[in-house]
Structure 1
Amino acid sequence: MKKRWLIPVFASFMIFTSPIVDAEAATTQELVATAKQYIGVSYVWGGTTTQGFDCSGFTQKVFADLGYQINRTSAAQYAQGTPVSKANLKVGDLVFFNTSGNGVSHVGIYIGNNQFINSSSSKGVSIASLDNSYWKSRYVGAKRIVDFSKAAPEVKPAAVDFSFYASREKVALRLAEGLGLDTSNTNSPFVDIKPTDSVAGAATALHQLKIFEGNEQGKFNPNSPITRAQMAKVLVVAFNLQPTGKAVQFHDVPQNHWAYDYITILAQHGITIGKGNGLYGPNDYVTLTQLETFLSRATNR
């Protein structure tokens, strides 16, 4: 997922608070699901991985999974965002506690119903209640860094049968495989792909090669279909195909069509022969069978 740096410029050792980020935020459901997947991970002082989290290492990891970079320590996270009263807490707000007697020393993520999820030294990643006497007496305050409540759930395209048509996720996975790309980097630049998504590594690798660049909102839209015109561009860029000069013309692809050059080059290399009757079908969705045919021809040309 596209990284969003929520840490403003540092001057000497002064930390300035950052504004709330709500554009392209993950939904509250995504936030809760992402946090809960780590329940049971042990507490490790200084820990920032699934081998063990301390409190702020856990909150930082959850936010990073959703594409947001926040400060490392609980005190530094308390310097971010906008203060929120206990009565106005929203899912995703960070809640802070004084467990050491020396100011802010613990942090968790509010998940609704007066509950928060945190990595505590006694239970590891677990859910606790703000009404619990221990936490209630040590509560310091809350900060809103990302307003997850303003995000709308992803709307998937209707009436597209992905057992027949190829999704953009499927294309990315198959293309990365066919090109033999290193997909170990899952820090996707796309705002709608989390590092934990199965397509994250492929999408990141393809973006680095400028094969997939996303839309104007920085989205990859993994659950959308891909048109034959879009597929032509992807294949030409992926396999670095160059024009051969061979005359090719499809009746439904005029020279002023945005994908004219890509479709022409694809046909010049014999990767597509069109749909018959001189038609290419630039706005038709790519089927799974067509995807495999395209890739086979491109890799064996």
Structure 2
Amino acid sequence: MNESFMTGFDRIVERAKKVEKPMRVAIAAADAENIVRGAFLAQDAGFVEPILIGNGNKIRAVLENIGQADRDVTVIDASGGDSSVQFAIEMINSGDADCLMRGNSSTRDFLMPVLNKSNHLIVPDTLVTHINFLKIPGLERMVAISDVTLLINPPMEARKQVVKNMVKALNAFDVEKPNIALLALVEKPSYHMRDTVEDQTMVRENEKRPFADCNLVGPIAYDLIVSKEAARLKGYDCPYCGEFDGIVVPNLATGNVMVKVLQQSAGADGFG
């Protein structure tokens, strides 16, 4: 297990500081205090150059509210015509920005231009998924959770791609052969719950003909994912309980609610 992934965000920030030059981040609909504050913290740390795009008056009001009205930062008024998201994408395609970030826009308004093939952001024949990385109080390591934004009720083949994308993302944090849990209500397959049967099928397939380089376990309930003690009390024999790096959820509602509950009620910090 990579130490930086276990200890949370601090070591990841330290790693980001080692970039050769700050990444130019185009923040679409940048009239959101929390987003702007975070961007400025990254800028002060030396690895981000924020570009604030959207309604200029609203962005300047945010800067005023957080005491940053005099800060030397690029503000681009894109309140008319195409959406600020489209404007930010065009900046990336023209080489004037390196990375796209969502600000105060709805999920739909942000994703529609991103998924538009004419914008050339998506690699052909790939499934786009969203991954949240959370530091949950009581757990020693960060946990990746997916998909919590895009796939409403994904079939098994799509969930296999979710696993692949998660493993790739974890590899980027130097986590080799991560432990991935397929979250379910129960740990025993039941034909009354389609996802549990699919989980078992995916695990067996990955053992025989690996589609992702990971230790894949499922179906498995949340308490067993996060707690060795819960596994001991239930007699669940799995060496990865309490040490999972990623959780693949069965559907969008489960993942989205799970992340929001952990962040709003359990004090989890995260990024995605």
Q: TM-score range by the shorter chain?
A: under 0.3
TM-score, normalised with respect to structure 1: 0.20
Largest Rg, 1 or 2: 1
TM-score, normalised with respect to structure 2: 0.22
- If each structure's strand is expressed as a fraction of its own residues, which one has the higher value? 2
- If each structure's helix is expressed as a fraction of its own residues, which one has the higher value? 2
